Amino acid sequence: MKKLIFYLTFTGICAIFITGCEMIYPPAEKNLPGGKDAHTEAKGFSFHKPGYKTPFAPESGCSSSLCHRSDLRGGVAFVEGKERIAPSCYQCHGAEWEDKD
């Protein structure tokens, strides 16, 4: 019985090494918008658009209804024709932009 458990364990480990991680963990698809809405600035665990430091500026587009909403609290957004949930900027940034003025 111990030999059987050993051989099954050994075979399983060999199968993992032969196939690699792709079989167990399929590659994650990036759900980031492309084109002019590309989130290309890697900051910690998140990606931001260029202009993220001034999210209420029209050119950044962060506060549009198609992105993080006018209050930066996130919600339903339509990106490339698909309904997505945009995260709240305050989840990571706290009250950094409470006063827009």
| pLDDT for residue 99 is more than 60 | no
- Residue 79: name the closest of 37, 48, 44 by CA: 37
Task: Report pTM.
Answer: 0.53
Q: How far is it, in rounded angstroms, from Cα 74 to Cα 65? A: 9
Over residues 40-59, the pLDDT tens digits come to 888 777 788 888 888 888 88
Q: Give the pLDDT of residue 58.
A: 85
The answer to whether the beta carbons of residues 21 and 29 sit under 8 Å apart is no
Burial 60-92 (b: 16+ CB within 10 A, else e): bbbbeeebbbeebebeebeeeeeebebeebbee
Q: How far is it, in rounded angstroms, from Cα 52 to Cα 88? A: 13
The top-scoring range by mean pLDDT among 16-20, 29-33, 43-47 is: 43-47
Over residues 48-90, the pLDDT tens digits come to 888 888 888 888 888 887 788 888 888 888 777 778 888 888 8
